[in-house]
A and B are shown apart, each in its own frame.
Chain A
Amino acid sequence: MSDFLQMGLTGVSLGLMYALIAIGLTLIFGVMRIIQYAHGEMFMLGAFVLYYWHAEMGLPYWAGVAVSAVVIFGLGAVLQMVLFKPLHGKNILYSLAVSLGLVLIISGSGQLIFGTTTKGIPSAVSGGVLLGGAYLSYERMVISAVSIALIVALWLFLRRSVTGLAIRAVAEDPDTAALQGIRTGRIHWIAFGLGSAMAAIAGCMMGTLLSIVPTMGFLATIKAFMIVIMGGLGSVVGALVGGMILGMIDSVVTTTISGDIALILSFVVIFLILVFRPSGLFGQNWD
């Protein structure tokens, strides 16, 4: 019983973190209809900003998370304006190719600049609590709380604030949104920066759990993509549900069978979801 509780708790905390990465990706797709393949790279860079801030310079952890989010927001916004804006309205393949190039550039220069040795960020909190036989570290609790808070904040932002409503309007119908006086170009870079910043915060959170390397972005991209396809592109709820499914598969199958099978199984699950619901669980039919 305690085994299952442990697996469940790990699965939920893992799922929340995955969802945090995936929501950024789904936001970017929903607004701009581009596949941001370098999303995991944003995750990696976010972790490295925190590493230099907190572990190298010894400055406070939480301020570092905020700094990392702001820096990556800026980077995402600049990338959108310089690289993705000219491709707006073209075939999705071109933006895919550009983001693929970004992956090569960022992870290549990451290995050059940061080095290939694994680094670690010291945790902000330590200790843990036994909960009905399952051990739950405070670190994981904090990370889950931050993930939930961010997801709720984003949800409220998209529902309540003027900018959030504008983002949703552009996602719904760019032309009509523009006719209503929404500056779609501005919404594009805001959404791109916001999505990237979410990935960066996820990177900061994961960075304390795992060791950080310049190549870690690729795995994050894979996970985010798997979640986004399961949940349906452009759907925040879908990303949350997809994250939970993937977190559970990872946690349960890895403990009971093996990590390799967990990965194969999650791909098979995705494939089956797509076969029966070709646009994901909560997705729309994008053309």
Chain B
Amino acid sequence: MEDLDRPHRIAWLALLAVALVVPFLVNFDLYLIHVGIIITFNVSLAASLWLIWTLGVISFAHAGFMGIGAYASALVLTKLGLSMWYGLWIGAFISGAIALAISIPLMRTRAVYFFMASWAVGEVIKRNFAYFKDFFGGWDGVFDIKPPVLDLGFLQIDFANRVAYYYLALFAVTATVWVIHRVNSSRTGMIYWSIHENELLAQHTGINVFRHKVICFTIACTLVGITGALYAHYQTYISPKTFDIWKSEFALVHLIVGGLTTVGGPVAGAISLTIVDELLRATGYFRTIFFGVVLIASVLLLPGGLETVPGRLRKLFQRTSGR
């Protein structure tokens, strides 16, 4: 991460270090580790959605593509008997291939219409899982998706163990965020931001806007397909309802509360809001109400999201110390 300045690099490494030692700090409490795993899934979902956002659009089909990865990996196990180590890549590949095929017509639409069209795509994906009962199991979903076992010869790791799965998920999310960061800080990432800023101008400077949009969408959906496969093998059960529009919308909420300009935004948003959500789990309907209040309040009172907090604090500190 040579292109990050020092405070950022320290912050990222500190976050990773904390994530690595957390299981020891919580004394291997199974519930808290479960929350940790859910956080990793939400972070990769939000971060890969953010990659699409660098083009200036938000896809509501994102949870649907997570579902494609999850279903592909699950069916590879239950129908063909291949473990997750194959399912992961097959899921990612199928998710990416479908994303590629769909994004070619989808990317013809712009701005508001893209929101709507992607939302239709997400809904069709979900409905297809529900409709083809024989193949996808209908609304009941797919059961008994076993977590994999890693056999290194001298060492056997059974990922049915939650702590082991936590580290697997942590590895995956670190890789995902790293890939997204690398893409974003490369020349390609700058092209995405130029499309974000002004599509017409980008086109006039010789950028093949359409092709870049399709590729970016495909990368993001491939990444989220991996997340979906990991999700399926962790929960051991998936249904179409898991991947409905609300999941995409909550990812969007994570993005907006976290901030939209750097990849740190979705990471911060997903971590903090997943924790808040878990804390509110016992409160029933208040959970949804409170979530809505947090969302509106953060949009109106903290424009720019959580990622602007350090800057704001610094400003505040400088102002008070200057007087």
Contacts and interface: CB of A to CB of B under 8 A. Distances in A.
A108 B286 contact: yes
Contacts of B299: 87, 94, 97-98, 101
Nearest to A116: B285
Contact of A97 (B110, B123, B295): B295
Interface string A36-74: 000000000000000000000000000000000000000
Q: How large is the interface on A (under 10, 10 to 19, 20 to 34, 35 or more residues)?
A: 35 or more
Interface residues of B, number: 40
Contacts of A83: 296, 300
A96 B294 CA distance: 14
Given A100-B253, A260-B127, A93 B58 contact: yes
B292 interface: yes
B117 interface: yes
Contacts of A29: 112
A244 B13 CA distance: 57
A92 B260 CA distance: 13
A271 B285 contact: no
Contacts of B79: none
Nearest to A258: B131
| Interface class of chain A by DSSP | helix
Contacts of A226: 120
A128 B73 CA distance: 54
Interface string A264-281: 100110110011001110
A240 B323 CA distance: 62
B183 to A, nearest CB: 21
B217 to A, nearest CB: 15
Given A98-B300, A264-B124, A271-B121, A92 B288 contact: no
B289 interface: yes
A165 interface: no
A271 B292 CA distance: 30
B167 interface: no
B124 A100 contact: no
B124 A35 contact: no
B128 interface: yes
A111 B285 contact: yes
Given A98-B295, A264-B131, A104 B120 contact: no
Contacts of B294: 101
Contacts of B288: 104-105, 107-108
A274 B286 contact: no
A279 B112 CA distance: 9
A233 interface: yes
B108 A275 contact: yes
B120 A267 contact: yes
B111 interface: yes
A271 B299 CA distance: 31
Interface string B100-142: 0000011011111101110111011001101100000000000
B256 interface: yes
B256 A278 contact: no
B134 to A, nearest CB: 14
Contacts of B105: 271, 274-275
Given A97-B299, A101-B293, A267-B120, A233 B112 contact: yes
13 contacts: A93-B252, A97-B252, A105-B296, A108-B289, A109-B289, A112-B285, A225-B116, A229-B116, A263-B127, A274-B113, A274-B116, A278-B113, A287-B110
Interface of B: 58, 105-106, 108-113, 115-117, 119-121, 123-124, 127-128, 130-131, 249, 252-253, 256, 260, 285-289, 291-296, 299-300, 303
Interface of A: 29, 35, 83, 86-87, 92-94, 96-98, 100-105, 107-109, 111-112, 222, 225-226, 228-229, 233, 260-261, 263-264, 267-268, 270-271, 274-275, 278-280, 283, 285-287
Given A229-B116, A271-B105, 7 more contacts: A87-B299, A92-B111, A93-B260, A98-B295, A104-B292, A270-B116, A271-B124
